[in-house]
Amino acid sequence: METGSKLGVALDEMRTVFEGIALILRQMTASLADACAESGRVSVPKLDERQVDAYNLSVLLSRAQAGRSIYSYATRRPEDHLSVGYARLFVGELTRDIVQAVLFDPERWGMTLEEVQGLLERHALRRFMRLALAPESYADVARLMLVLGVNDYGLDSNRDMIRQQFRRFATEVVEPVAERVHTKDELIPPSIISAVAELGCFGLCIPERFGGLQPDNEPDNLGMCVVTEELSRGSLGVAGSLITRPEILSKALLKGGTEAQQNEWLPQLATGEKLCAVAVTEPDFGSDVAGLKVTATPAEGGWLINGQKTWCTFGGYADVLMVLARSDTDHSKGHRGLTIFLAEKPRFEGHSFEHTQEGGGKITGRAIDTIGYRGMHSFDVFFEDYFVSDENVLGGLGGVGRGFYYQMEGFAGGRLQTAARAAGVMQAALDKALTYAKERQVFGQPIGDYQLTAWKLARMGMLTQVARQFTYDVASLLDMHKGQVEASMVKLWASREAEWVTREAMQIHGGMGYAEEYAVSRYFVDARVFSIFEGAEEVLALRVVARQVLQRVIDEQV
């Protein structure tokens, strides 16, 4: 491995490289903003004419943000060869892909070939890529990984103690039941739910004054990410997603709930006395919530909900559903006509349920068969004149028509949490791949000694650590009430990479990776859901990341 002095040079070179790729990305963004601008705003029709460009730019911008996180992490520990090695590999790959994007068709991005080549030379991009992306660089990192094993997390002593506590819980309590729940498509064992409640997990995002673990005046998204990652490492379906729904509802309640609603619901959510599910998605409307059709019509003392929701995870066992419904019949109002209702129901086990209220209102549900992410069960839910009292309108009468805004408060945290879940699944896959690569011998030597396997292991380790540090950085931003776009970026990027990491863990296992008796097959099918839920990657890229970043550029030009 290189000496510390050479690693220092690598960090200096990365600083120069970042300056070069930042100039390229700035020009690409400005060019697309000019093409999509109309009367000082991003024109959605014009943006749709450049969907492929907008999608690719969003991914590159998200990766660049991830690159800043791992570079910053490495600069804080320059003697940590593994962290610096990860940063060098990631920045090298990032540079290569950005250069390729403009070198092929520079005019598309408002540049000339001469300008691109000039940037390559002035910022030593070509030289850096040649050194950083050499097979020897990956082999050096892989050798360190095989010796050191797990990644350094860079946490303070208190949070690292929490991480170790939940790692033990995931290893000793969650993992032993994970395969059975997955292969038999069972519900999460009640013992797991009780244990998670006793550990205080449901109250991670609830202030202490309501019985949660979060300081009253100091958000702690980082603590939530640490716990989520370790639970997901044990099993995404059995434990990793248990605290997502209470977090979404809790943040919506803290944002817009009345004092009475906060005092009633938050303590019950914090202890797990009340379990919740989120009913937002509809068969024809997923991320496009402005078009939702499920209706809520006024009735004496409350509202009647009618229509179908889908992908309502944990909808059967939950005591209350956070339902986003159209309370205004004027569809032209879009998201301004939506309201959140807390629809209570009994708990049900199994793959279907049905409940009829005394007044005749009815709710039914059936579980959707999925290739992975089993344990919580995702439901199609049908409402037929299902009554919800005025007291259960989030925000009271003042919350009517404001449901979209309350929901978005929770969904930013949900996207961050998805990135943490992805990091946990990636780490689980990496752990198994490292162990197998050291033990499995082919043609007389461990497969980890072969160059191609080393390249895969190095990329797996690098992507896992980048996902983790990117997630931690965005958590810190959200703690400061910033980082809404970055939360979408980290979800977009980490979800994509989790698929590659889990795929390669299967591949390293060879034929056994395809067998259900090996956990890596579960990691792969579980990872596939990340790019779909909590905002599909295409919608995040086009309607959130691209749209907001381009609007920022347009505003700066005014």
Q: Residue written as tokens 């007044």?
A: 359
Across 121-150, average pLDDT: 88
Count of Cβ atoms closer than 10 Å to residue 351 Cβ = 15
Phi, psi of 187 (to 5 degrees): -75, 150
Rounded Cα distance, 61 and 98, in Å: 10
Question: Do the beta carbons of residue 443 and residue 127 sit within 8 Å?
Answer: no
| Residue 124: per-residue pLDDT | 87
pLDDT above 70 for 527:
yes
Token code pair at residue 166 = 């939940």
Average pLDDT, the chain: 91
The continuous run of DSSP H or E covering 465 comes out as helix 451-479
Question: Do the beta carbons of residue 318 and residue 275 sit within 8 Å?
Answer: yes
Model confidence at 473, in pLDDT bands (50, 70, 90)? very high
Across 278-295, average pLDDT: 76
Across 191-218, average pLDDT: 90
pLDDT tens, 98-113?
Answer: 999 999 899 999 999 9
Q: How far is Cα of residue 531 from the mean position of the Cα atoms in its chain?
A: 8
178: amino acid identity, one letter: A
Across 530-554, average pLDDT: 91
Burial zone of 255 (CB within 10 Å; 0-12 exposed, 13-18 middle, 19+ buried): middle
Model confidence at 2, in pLDDT bands (50, 70, 90)? very low
pLDDT above 70 for 151:
no
Model confidence at 416, in pLDDT bands (50, 70, 90)? very high
Residue tagged active-site, from 218, 534, 537, 556 = 534
Rounded Cα distance, 482 and 489, in Å: 13
| Residue 516: per-residue pLDDT | 84
Worst-scoring range by mean pLDDT, 42-56, 68-82, 272-286?
272-286
Task: Identify which of 395, 396, 419 has the alpha carbon closest to the alpha carbon of residue 409.
Answer: 395
Per the annotation, the verdict on 384 as an active-site residue is no
| Residue 9: per-residue pLDDT | 52
Across 63-84, average pLDDT: 93
Task: Tally the residues of the chain.
Answer: 558
| Residue 12: per-residue pLDDT | 83
Burial zone of 103 (CB within 10 Å; 0-12 exposed, 13-18 middle, 19+ buried): middle
pLDDT above 90 for 391:
yes
* pLDDT over 70 percentage in the chain: 96
Rounded Cα distance, 362 and 154, in Å: 50
pLDDT tens, 305-351?
Answer: 999 999 999 999 999 999 999 998 776 776 788 999 999 999 999 89
Token code pair at residue 25 = 């990305």
Token code pair at residue 430 = 């990496």
pTM of the model: 0.92
Strands (E) across 227-326 are located at 276-279, 295-299, 302-313, 320-326
pLDDT above 90 for 220:
no
Across 370-374, average pLDDT: 89
Model confidence at 558, in pLDDT bands (50, 70, 90)? low
Sign of dihedral through CA atoms 220, 280, 387, 398?
A: positive
Rounded Cα distance, 176 and 162, in Å: 21
| Residue 5: per-residue pLDDT | 37
Domains of the chain plus CATH, in order, are 4-133 (1.20.140), 276-404 (2.40.110.10)
SS3 state of residue 436: helix
pLDDT above 60 for 541:
yes
Sign of dihedral through CA atoms 440, 502, 92, 470?
A: negative
356-392: b or e for each residue (b if 16 or more CB lie within 10 Å)?
eeeeebebbbbbeebebbbbbbbbbbbbeebbbeeeb
Count of Cβ atoms closer than 10 Å to residue 170 Cβ = 24
Task: Identify which of 160, 9, 1 has the alpha carbon closest to the alpha carbon of residue 82.
Answer: 1
pLDDT tens, 311-322?
Answer: 999 999 999 999
pLDDT above 50 for 259:
yes
Q: How far is Cα of residue 227 from the mean position of the Cα atoms in its chain?
A: 14
| Residue 329: per-residue pLDDT | 79
